[in-house]
Structure 1
């Protein structure tokens, strides 16, 4: 991948980790009235954790970053299939795995020079039929 692509993936990974590291009430506020499926959140985060391996090989992430991303990826992989079904807002309120993921994502962001208290990514767009 080129440097611009690597930089975009790095930014998206850090933004997504900021969302996962945020307090539950902030995550729920970010969601608003939108219904983001838990499975979609898990799959996106797992993909970013896997992609981070290649980014680390190219020096975009350091060994410490990779350690934390691997920990988040492992915990996401442990989420039972039944717990991946339904709205993420419900999972945040009922599944303690999200507390674990939150605590695993925070150290990655705390090692960043700008800290983890960056704005959350833009809210998820509502799903519309046919588009």
Structure 2
């Protein structure tokens, strides 16, 4: 992995953690009309947690960062398959696991930057099907 790839992945991890740490109402506003599947969110965060292990070997993340990211990955792994089905906006309102993940993401950001309140990533425009 080159330096630019490392910077991109670290930045994406930090932005995604900001989204996970946000208040549920802010997450729902961020979602807007997008229909983001819960399983896709879980898979993306699990991937970021795994990639962060390699980034930590290159000192892009501190050991405390990794403890927090591992805790997030572990909590995500505890979400059973039935709770991964459906839209993430619905899961945010009904599955208490997302409250736990929110708390863990806040702990990560607090340790990393001293404040869990971070700008949310710019939403990716909905797929227009090639239009």
Aligned residue pairs, count: 131
Distance 1:128 1:42, change over 3 A: same
For residue 19 of structure 2, what is the aligned residue in structure 1? Answer: 19
Counterparts of 1:1-131 in structure 2, within 5 Å, are 1-113=1-113, 115-129=115-129
Please tell me whether the aligned partners of residues 36 and 124 of structure 1 are also in contact (alpha carbons under 8 angstroms): no
Deviation at 1:34, TM superposition (A): 1.0
SS of match in other structure, 1:126: coil
The separation in 2 between residues aligned to 1:124 and 1:96, in whole angstroms, is 26
Unaligned runs of 5+ in 2: none
CA distance in 2, matches of 1:13, 1:41: 13
TM-score, with length taken from structure 2: 0.94
Please give the root-mean-square deviation of Cα atoms over the aligned residues, in Å: 1.4
1:8 Cα deviation (Å)?
Answer: 0.8
How high is the TM-score relative to the length of structure 1?
0.94
In 1: Cα distance, 2:93 partner to 2:124 partner? 18
| CA contact 2:42–2:76 (8 Å) conserved in 1 | yes
Whether the 8 Å CA contact 1:24–1:92 is kept in 2: the answer is: yes
Conservation of the 8 A alpha-carbon contact between 2:65 and 2:112: no
The one-character-per-residue Cα deviations of 1:108-127 (angstroms, maximum 9, x if unpaired) are 10122363322101124324
Gaps of 5+ in 1: none
